[in-house]
Amino acid sequence: MKSRVVTPFPAPESRQVEVHSAPSLGLTRRMRRNRKAEWSRRLVRENLLTSDDLIWPIFLMDAAEACTPVEWMPGVDRLNIDEAVRQAAAAAELGIPAIAPFPFVEKALRDPTGSEALNGQNLMCRAVRAIKKEVPQIGIICDAALDPYTSHGHDGVMDGERVLNDASVAILVRQALALADAGADVIAPSDMMDGRVAAIREALDAGGHEDVQIMAYAAKYASAFYGPFRDAIGTNATLIGDKRTYQMDPANSDEAMAEVALDLEEGADMIMVKPGLPYLDVVARVKEHFRVPTFAYQVSGEYAMLMAAVRNGWLDGDKAILESLLAFKRAGADGVLTYFAPRVAKALKAAR
Ligand SMILES: NCC(=O)CCC(=O)O
Ligand SMILES: [Mg+2]
């Protein structure tokens, strides 16, 4: 019997590859044709990110220093009022339509009922007045929620361990009125109490604020991605327990549809899904079904993840950030709240 010689690899001459004379596959449809040049890629592009899509969340702080860095959000600062006015002007110049301020409230001003939220001279109200006066062309979206103001870090008032719904709504309504009186263009209830949109709408109308819009944090999830925000506004130190009795279970999406339906019935002009990238399925489902102005919040944890990799040189910053924001547009969002707003607006301007 002849023994077979097994060659582990083909001999060198049979490994020659004829690149140019390979037979055509005879395909009718070649998806790559439209991708062959930049002009063609631009022509067939389905979604576009522009500065009109950006809402910039900023942090406020009563401080002598213009900027106080937020440790867990590299590149983000808490701004005193003068600096917030300056940066709002710069944002308007960059074509950013709106900002969303959040206050770092001194510990001494926090109490169990969040009463500082009702003070018409509090940090938020003073900042809103100052920005409205100097930069009237930028929209100001103000959160209605008590967490920056409560000693326990919850978005409402408590009875023992329980966050009370209706009692919290009564306070949120007064907070919303104080913000509207200061000049807020949009009230954004982020508290996830039931019935707060209707109550706020009614009070705004009764208070002569028919034109103040409501952007409801309609589907806000009890998420681990808010960690760095809590560092920024100082609630990581105060928060007792978690927010799972009012914010949504990350496992659910039918429930998000019910939340959005309710907020729209109650008078929300715009709705929001939060967090962003991990919940794009919810954004897509909501937009597809309700066809209303739909926003998503690329939250602090998403910002921190991207920035950590960018700072390590593991990701190309502008490219990764722009791609992350384009994903929201693809999912159907009309706009995104993002800490990257000024960076992105600058990059988009430079690319024009
Ligand atoms: N109500 C506003 C937030 O909770 C923001 C959360 C974040 O950026 O992590
Ligand atoms: Mg709700």
In the predicted model, what is the mean pLDDT of residues 91-100?
Answer: 98
Give the C-alpha distances (Å, rounded to integers) separating 311 from 68, 76, 277, 285, 298: 20, 14, 20, 34, 19
Residue the block writes with tokens 């003073």: 126
246's CB contacts (< 8 A; 6+ apart) are: 155, 156, 163, 165, 191, 192, 193
> Which range is least confidently modeled, 6-10, 130-134, 173-177, 305-309?
6-10
> Ligand 2 centre and the CA of 292: distance in Å?
16
Q: What is the ipTM of this complex?
A: 0.95
Whether 177 and 204 have beta carbons less than 8 Å apart is answered as: yes
pLDDT tens-place string over residues 240-293: 899 999 999 999 999 999 999 999 999 999 999 999 999 999 999 999 999 999
Give the C-alpha distances (Å, rounded to integers) separating 91 from 273, 338, 343: 23, 13, 10
pLDDT tens-place string over residues 67-84: 999 999 999 999 999 999
pLDDT of res. 21: 85
For 339, the enclosing helix (H) or strand (E) is: none
Provide the angle, in degrees to the nearest 10, between the axes of the packed helices 123-134 and 165-182: 30
Q: Is 287 in the active site?
A: no
Task: Return the residue whose CA atom lies nearest to atom 9 of ligand 1.
Answer: 226
Q: Can you give the pTM of this predicted structure?
A: 0.94
Query: Of the bound ligands, which one is closest to the alpha carbon of residue 153?
Result: 1
pLDDT tens-place string over residues 153-203: 999 999 999 999 999 999 999 999 999 999 999 999 999 999 999 999 999
Residues with CB under 6 A from ligand 1: 143, 145, 190, 226, 229, 299-301
Rounded to whole angstroms, how far apart are CA atoms 206 and 344? 39
pLDDT tens-place string over residues 316-327: 999 999 999 999
Q: Which residues are paired to 85 by β-bridges?
A: none
Structure tokens at 342: 């000024």
Average pLDDT, the chain: 96
Q: Is 274 in the active site?
A: yes
- 3 has a pLDDT exceeding 60: no
3-state secondary structure 52-71: HHEEEEEEEECCCCCEEECC
- 1 has a pLDDT exceeding 70: no
> Ligand 2 centre and the CA of 266: distance in Å?
10
Q: Which among 154, 190, 229 is the best mutation to test ligand 1's pocket, defined by most ligand atoms within 8 Å of the CB?
A: 229
CA 159, chain centre distance (Å): 31
- Catalytic-labelled residue, pool 2, 36, 132, 220: 220
For 145, the enclosing helix (H) or strand (E) is: none
DSSP strands (E only) in 34-183: 54-61, 67-69, 77-79, 98-104, 139-144, 158-159, 162-163
- 45 has a pLDDT exceeding 80: yes
- 13 has a pLDDT exceeding 70: no
- 225 has a pLDDT exceeding 80: yes
pLDDT tens-place string over residues 113-165: 999 999 999 999 999 999 999 999 999 999 999 999 999 999 999 999 999 99
> Ligand 1 centre and the CA of 226: distance in Å?
6
Task: Return the residue whose CA atom lies nearest to atom 1 of ligand 1.
Answer: 190
In the predicted model, what is the mean pLDDT of residues 96-101?
Answer: 98
pLDDT of res. 22: 87
Q: Which residues are paired to 238 by β-bridges?
A: none
